[in-house]
Amino acid sequence: MNLQKIISQFSALIFNNRKMWLIIFGVMTLVFLFFASQLRVDAGFNKMVPLKHPYMKVYKEYETVFGGANRVQLR
Residue 41 has pLDDT above 80, yes or no: yes
pLDDT band at 46 (very low <50, low <70, confident <90, very high): confident
Q: What is the pLDDT of residue 69?
A: 66
Residue 7 has pLDDT above 70, yes or no: yes
The residue-averaged pLDDT of 17-46 equals: 93
Query: Is the whole-model pTM more than 0.85?
Result: no
68 half-sphere exposure, CB direction, 13 A CA radius: 5
Residue 73 has pLDDT above 80, yes or no: no
CA atoms of 67 and 75, how far apart (whole Å): 15
